[in-house]
Amino acid sequence: MMADMGVIGLGVMGAALARNLIDHDTKIIGFEPVGDTTALKRAGDIPMADSLGEMLHDLSRPRVILMMVTAGAPVDAMINQIQPQLAPGDIIIDGGNSHFLDSQRRAENLSIGGLLFMGLGVSGGEAGARFGPAMMAGGAAEAVQLIQSLLLPIAAKSADGSPCFDHFGPAPAGHFVKMLHNAIEYGEMQLLAEIYGLAKYAGGQGNGDIADLFAGWSTATYGGYLVDVSAGVLRQADDQTDRDLIDQIAPIAGQKGTGRWAITAALDLGQAVPSLAAAVFARSLTARAGSQTLPGPVGLADPLTPEQLYGAFALAKLATYEQGFQVLNAAAESYDWPLDLPAVARVWRAGCILRGPLLETLARRVKNGVTQIFDASDFKDLSHLRRLLASASASGISVPVLAASLSYVEGLSSDRPTAQLIQGQRDAFGAHGFERRDQAGVFHGQWSPIEGA
C-alpha cells in the first residue's frame, strides 16, 4: 500500500510528529537525509526508506512530504535535492522554524514547477509533536485543503474540542505567526526570570518558595505552561551534587534566532515592541554578565507580596502579548494576508508553549484590525507594576521586560505626553515641522538661536 506522507528528518521533532501521525492512521514513510544513526534509532518503529527515491516512489499522488530538517541552508539543500524528482501538484511542507521570508522565496520558486509549498509553524516541543502540537499553516488554499485531513487529527485540542491548527494566509504567514509566538515566549520566559531574580536576590527567597509562588499561579488567568515549567525547573534536584539543579546551571541564555527575527520584522513594520525586544537583548546580555562588579544588590525591608508580584506579572505579560498581536495586525495589513487574529489566539490555546488560560480570554478579546487588547480593568494592576519597578531599582535587580512593559503601558496614556519636546527639537535643529494641538496644518517655530556648545 502506498504511504500518505513522507517525513524527511527523523530528529526529535520529526520522529515525534511521525509517531503522532501513525497513531492517527496516517501511513508514513520516513527518510533520514544525514544518515544520522541516533535519528535512525529514534525512528525505530517508523517505516523508513533507504533513499529519497524509494520514499518518493512509495508515496501516493499527489505526494505530500513533511520536511523536519534544521532551518536555514539544510532546508534549501533538501528542496534542491527533492525538487527534480517531484511532479506538479506535489506538496512540500516545511515544519521547521524557518524564516518567513525564506518560506516566501521557496514557495515562489517551487510554484514555477507547479509544486505546492507550505510553511508550517509547529509548537509544543517533543511532547507536543508526539501527542498534540499547535500548528500554524501558511500556503496556497489548495495545498491546505489537501493536507488538513492529515494534520487536523494530530493537533492539540482546546477545551472546547477544536483542533489547534489554522491556515493564516500564503506560505510565509504560518512561519510569521510562529515567529511571533516565539517572541512572546521569550518575553514571558524573561518576565518569569525577572520575578525569580527579584524574589531571590531582593526578597531572599529560596528556590522552593519561588516554585511555590509560581505553582500558585498555575491555573490563574496569567498562569499556564511556562509558569508551570518554571516551577518545575526550580524544584529539580541536581543528579550530580546535592544542590538544586537551577543553582548549577550557567546563567548564559541561548537563542536560535526566532525572537531576534521577530524584532527585526516589527521594526520593519514600524511597530513598538519594547518588551519583546528587551527579552531578546536580555538573553544577549547574559553572555557579558559578570564583566563588571557593581555594589548591591540590597535586600528589601518590605518585599512585594505574592499578590503584588502576580499583579505586576499579569499586566507585564498582557503588554507583551499585546505587542505580539500588534505586529501580527501590522503584517496582515502591510502584506495583505488574510491573517485572522482571533484565530491565532484560538490556535495558541493548547499544545503550544504559550498555552494557558489567558489565550481563552484573548480568543474572545482580540479583534481583527484593532490595535490594542487591554481592557480598562487590566489597569488595576498598574500600581503593582509601578511598585515592583521601584523595588527592583532600589535593590539593584535588572528587570528589563518588566520595565519595558511598564513604560509601554505608561506610553499608551494620553495625559502625560512628552513627544511635544521631540517635535520641538526636530523643528529647532532640522526644520522638520510639527502639528499643533489647536490648529490643523504643519508649522515651524520661530526658534531663538541656540546658545551654548
- For the annotated catalytic residues, the residue numbers are 178, 185
Q: Among residues 55 and 183, whose Cβ is nearest to ligand 6PG?
A: 183
DSSP codes, 308-327: HHHHHHHHHHHHHHHHHHHH
By CB under 6 A, residue 97 contacts ligand 6PG: yes
By CB under 6 A, residue 183 contacts ligand 6PG: no
The residue range among 82-90, 121-129, 377-385, 440-448 that interacts with ligand 6PG, by the rule CB under 6 A, is 121-129
- Residue 120 φ/ψ, nearest 5 degrees: -120, 110
Residues written for the chain: 453
Distance, in Å, from the CA atom of 193 to the CA atom of 400, rounded to the nearest integer, reads 10
Handedness of CA 276, 124, 175, 145 (dihedral sign): negative
Other beta carbons within 10 Å of 121: 31
Cβ of residue 283: shortest distance to ligand 6PG, in angstroms? 8
By CB under 6 A, residue 94 contacts ligand 6PG: no
Cβ of residue 289: shortest distance to ligand 6PG, in angstroms? 17
The residue range among 22-30, 120-128, 167-175, 393-401 that interacts with ligand 6PG, by the rule CB under 6 A, is 120-128
Q: Among residues 254 and 270, whose Cβ is nearest to ligand 6PG?
A: 254
Candidate residues 98, 258, 320, 391; the one interacting with ligand 6PG per rule CB under 6 A: 258
Q: Among residues 129 and 406, whose Cβ is nearest to ligand 6PG?
A: 129
Could you give the C-alpha distances from 101 to 97, 123, 140, 170, 171, in angstroms and in order? 12, 19, 16, 11, 9
User: Measuring CA to CA, which residue among 80, 151, 73 is closest to residue 118?
Assistant: 151
Q: Among residues 100 and 201, whose Cβ is nearest to ligand 6PG?
A: 100
Taking the mean position of all CA atoms in its chain, how far away is CA 170? 19
By CB under 6 A, residue 251 contacts ligand 6PG: no
Could you give the C-alpha distances from 65 to 69, 90, 122, 201, 359, in angstroms and in order? 12, 8, 15, 51, 31
Cβ of residue 253: shortest distance to ligand 6PG, in angstroms? 8
Total residues contacting ligand 6PG by CB under 6 A comes to 13
By CB under 6 A, residue 156 contacts ligand 6PG: no
Cβ of residue 400: shortest distance to ligand 6PG, in angstroms? 17
Candidate residues 124, 138, 174, 356; the one interacting with ligand 6PG per rule CB under 6 A: 124
Other beta carbons within 10 Å of 268: 12
Q: Among residues 127 and 370, whose Cβ is nearest to ligand 6PG?
A: 127
By CB under 6 A, residue 185 contacts ligand 6PG: yes
The residue range among 43-51, 254-262, 326-334, 406-414 that interacts with ligand 6PG, by the rule CB under 6 A, is 254-262
User: Measuring CA to CA, which residue among 350, 328, 324, 355 is closest to residue 339?
Assistant: 328
Helix (H, G, I), strand (E, B) or coil at 119: strand
By CB under 6 A, residue 256 contacts ligand 6PG: yes
Q: Among residues 174 and 311, whose Cβ is nearest to ligand 6PG?
A: 174
- Residue 248 φ/ψ, nearest 5 degrees: -105, -5
By CB under 6 A, residue 125 contacts ligand 6PG: yes
Q: Are strands 134-139 and 116-123 parallel, antiparallel or unpaired?
A: antiparallel
Distance, in Å, from the CA atom of 147 to the CA atom of 145, rounded to the nearest integer, reads 6
Q: Among residues 48 and 344, whose Cβ is nearest to ligand 6PG?
A: 344
Cβ of residue 179: shortest distance to ligand 6PG, in angstroms? 9
| Interacting positions 335-364 with ligand 6PG (CB under 6 A) | 352-353
Give the residue closest to ligand 6PG by C-beta: 123
DSSP character at residue 108? H
Largest CA distance in the chain: 86
The residue range among 39-47, 160-168, 251-259, 312-320 that interacts with ligand 6PG, by the rule CB under 6 A, is 251-259
Could you give the C-alpha distances from 185 to 179, 218, 262, 360, in angstroms and in order? 10, 16, 11, 17
Candidate residues 83, 218, 255, 286; the one interacting with ligand 6PG per rule CB under 6 A: 255
Distance, in Å, from the CA atom of 195 to the CA atom of 182, rounded to the nearest integer, reads 20
Distance, in Å, from the CA atom of 408 to the CA atom of 275, rounded to the nearest integer, reads 8
By CB under 6 A, residue 182 contacts ligand 6PG: yes
The residue range among 50-58, 207-215, 237-245, 255-263 that interacts with ligand 6PG, by the rule CB under 6 A, is 255-263
User: Measuring CA to CA, which residue among 319, 320, 365 is closest to residue 341?
Assistant: 365
Could you give the C-alpha distances from 142 to 139, 146, 167, 269, in angstroms and in order? 8, 6, 11, 29
By CB under 6 A, residue 98 contacts ligand 6PG: no
By CB under 6 A, residue 254 contacts ligand 6PG: yes
| Interacting positions 372-411 with ligand 6PG (CB under 6 A) | none
The residue range among 139-147, 256-264, 298-306, 326-334 that interacts with ligand 6PG, by the rule CB under 6 A, is 256-264
Can you give the binding site for ligand 6PG, defined by CB under 6 A? 97, 123-125, 182, 185, 254-256, 258-259, 352-353
